[in-house]
Amino acid sequence: MNEERSPLFARKEYDELSVFEPEALVREARRQKDLAEKSAPDICVLDPDGDIADHLVSEGVAEEDPTWPGYHTSMYRFPLGGEEVGLIPHAVGASFAVLVVEQLAAVGCEYVVSVTSAGQVTDAGETPYFVLIDRALRDEGTSHHYAPPERYAEPSEELIDVVEEECGDVEPTVHRGGSWTTDAPFRETDSAIEHARSEGVLAVEMEASALYALAEVRDIDVVCFAHVTNEMGRAEEDFEKGQDWGSKDALKMVDAARRAFRRGPTIRIAR
């Protein structure tokens, strides 16, 4: 029935290659902008709010990469744990995040860590805190172009287990659990929230399910954190992230995920 009523679920040949490929976009961006060819760092961070980037740039720690072949974004590079990490701010929403990660994979990135702001669905304590997302409800369109329409997109459980271990001693609190990914934040109705809550979902955000679906079909690993900062505007003084707009705490999540990734090839997704 859905195939007859909506093109979102129709004619998705998942094994068929796309005519438009990220390598072509990278090639033409380099040509038009006369950019030198340079690989992305192995590990890159998506920073939808831009707070991590603002903090690192203001501290003189991050520098913009003039060779990044993206039409819509900038990349910054900064040191973390003795290695160079890439950072792309302001890629908000599933389709934009996937556009960026496709390009990152095309220029050599192997691992993406996303830290996005999120709303509280199930009360897990006083905000702000973080959720290490181990499943994401696919209430957006982008993931359905990458994977058949199951309810959830899930990352490598083995990788998430190791990231959770690395987050064990990190402050603030990190909860492991599910998220609800939506591409319509101002349609978070009472009934939709209650439905997500009934499935044990902890937070609502805008990127994770698409990123996890992408990771299943591309040679790249992805870990998503939700920085739960608000009750969707229903409380006074909502959307507070903490000191430095939560950037230092977010970097703790990134570093924990980086350490997990470096613990060895045994945690890599087998493809």
Contact 142, 98 (CB under 8 A): yes
Which H helix or E strand runs over 203? Answer: strand 201-205
Count the neighbouring beta carbons within 10 Å of the beta carbon of residue 42.
16
pLDDT given for residue 271 in this prediction: 38
DSSP 8-class letter at 269 = P
For tokens 């994977």, the residue is 147
Cα gap 118→204, rounded to integer Å: 5
pLDDT given for residue 238 in this prediction: 57
Using CA atoms, how far residue 95 sits from 11, 141, 181, in Å, is 19, 8, 12
| Furthest C-alpha separation in the chain | 55
Domain spans, the chain:
20-263
Within the chain, which residues score under 50 in pLDDT? 1, 266-267, 269-271
Tokens coding 40: 């992305």
Q: Map residue 257 onto helix, strand or coil.
A: helix
21 HSE (CA, 13 A, CB side): 11
Note if the pTM is more than 0.75: yes
Residues 6+ apart with CB under 8 A from 184: none
pLDDT given for residue 7 in this prediction: 87
Using alpha carbons, select from 134, 114, 139 the residue that is nearest to residue 193.
Answer: 139
Contact 85, 56 (CB under 8 A): no
Q: Looking at domain 20-263, what is its CATH homologous superfamily?
A: Nucleoside phosphorylase domain (3.40.50.1580)
pLDDT given for residue 266 in this prediction: 47
Residues 6+ apart with CB under 8 A from 224: 113, 114, 116, 133, 136, 155, 179, 205, 207, 208, 211, 212
String of DSSP letters for 50-72: -HHHHHHHHTT--EE-TT---SS
Q: List pLDDT tens digits, range 160-202.
A: 999 999 999 888 889 999 999 999 999 989 999 999 999 999 9
Count the neighbouring beta carbons within 10 Å of the beta carbon of residue 79.
11
pLDDT given for residue 248 in this prediction: 94
Angle, alpha carbons 128-212-200 (nearest 5°): 50
Query: b/e for 116-125, b at 16 or more Cβ within 10 A?
Result: bbbbbbbebe
pLDDT given for residue 1 in this prediction: 46
DSSP 8-class letter at 265 = G
